[in-house]
Copies of this chain bind each other. A is one copy, B any other.
Amino acid sequence: MTEEIITLDYGSGGGKTAALIEELLLPAFSNERLNPLGDGAALNLTGQMAFSTDSFVVSPLFFPGGDIGKLAVCGTVNDLAMCGAEPLYLSLSMILEEGLPMDTLRRVVGSVAQAAKEAGVEIVTGDTKVVERGRGDGIYLNTSGIGKITHPGLSPDNIQPGDAVILSGTMGDHGATIMMARDDLLEGSPLRSDCQPLHRLAQAALNAGGVRVLRDPTRGGVATTLNEFTDSRDFSVELAEDALPIRAPVQAACDLLGLDPLYCANEGKMLAVVSAERAGSVLQALRKTPGGEDAAIIGRVTTRAPGKVLLTTALGSSRVLARLSGAQLPRIC
């Protein structure tokens, strides 16, 4: 690896691919399942497992609060956590663009390793492909993951009128940060992506009891995720506008860019629908868990407008929040 950029040779399956694996990837992800290295990892699994996949094409690759590597680990860890699972193992597949500086790859790989360590998961298998200049955008990543389901049966089907809708923290931080970064508007800004693993928050909520369903409101934001809950069902969700936790710089960025924080992607937030009786306990449990300090009850499940999500203002007027309909935020994750 004396070259300082990625060439097509690194995707050939030959000597350069082997050098990349042996000199960069194996040292970063060192664990016993990577030794010996074969066509896949052998894992002892027993019981109900969650299996999830996500590809990551975020632009720019690096942003305040994270980068594509951290995002790729947190994204799949969070999908597993939302299934009521303890995340265990990840795969990592990379599509690199010819000409990518080796230092950029090193930073991203380091970030994947660090995020995996923080989330308590192992990278156990992987793949690397290289495409010609102009056929990619630096780095695209895919992570797939396996986790052990500790709390089975979470589903929007369990939701009941009267349930509380809890959000584990502020809205829109990731989306607003990426859009401002893309427009080079971040200088001096306190904006940061909320990119973080959610497995501890998920377990805290689940252990407090009464949880109907968990979901991380990524692309499409809180409004779109809630629409997935209400869609074709006989209940509505009513959000209280003044209960929505939004940081001032996020609101300011959204105002500047013409975005709505309700539709902005989050990468470290969890929506939990919880029985009315347990809502207080879940809220307390979340607030005591790092990353959940700003958790809030943002709304209730009602029967006022079945199938719909409503936003009620402090003055008492309501409007319907539809799903995101266009590409408000392309390549946000």
Contact = CB atoms under 8 A, between A and B. Distances in A.
Given A15-B324, A36-B155, A125 B51 contact: yes
A329 interface: yes
Nearest to A155: B36
B55 A93 contact: yes
Copies, count:
2
Interface string A7-21: 111011111111000
Contact of A330 (B82, B89, B130, B156): B130
A42 B300 CA distance: 28
Interface in A1-33: 7-9, 11-18
Contacts of A12: 219-220, 324, 326-330
* Pairs A-B, 3 closest by C-beta atoms: A13-B219, A14-B324, A40-B52
Nearest to A333: B129
A115 to B, nearest CB: 17
Nearest to A126: B53
Interface in A127-179: 127, 129-132, 134-137, 140, 142, 144-147, 149, 152, 154-157
A282 to B, nearest CB: 19
A80 interface: yes
Interface of A: 7-9, 11-18, 36, 38-57, 78-80, 82-83, 85, 89, 91-95, 124-127, 129-132, 134-137, 140, 142, 144-147, 149, 152, 154-157, 215-216, 218-220, 224, 228, 263, 265, 322-331
Contacts of A91: 51-53, 144
A302 to B, nearest CB: 22
B149 A146 contact: no
A290 B67 CA distance: 47
Contacts of A57: 95, 129, 131, 135
Contacts of A127: 53-55
A219 B10 CA distance: 11
Contact of A41 (B47, B52, B263, B325): B52
A56 to B, nearest CB: 8
Contact of A52 (B39, B50, B55, B137): B39
Contacts of A9: 325-327
Nearest to A146: B51
A50 B45 contact: no
Given A11-B327, A36-B156, A224-B13, A54 B93 contact: yes
A18 B323 contact: yes
A261 to B, nearest CB: 15
Contacts of A142: 53, 55, 93, 142, 144
A8 B224 contact: no
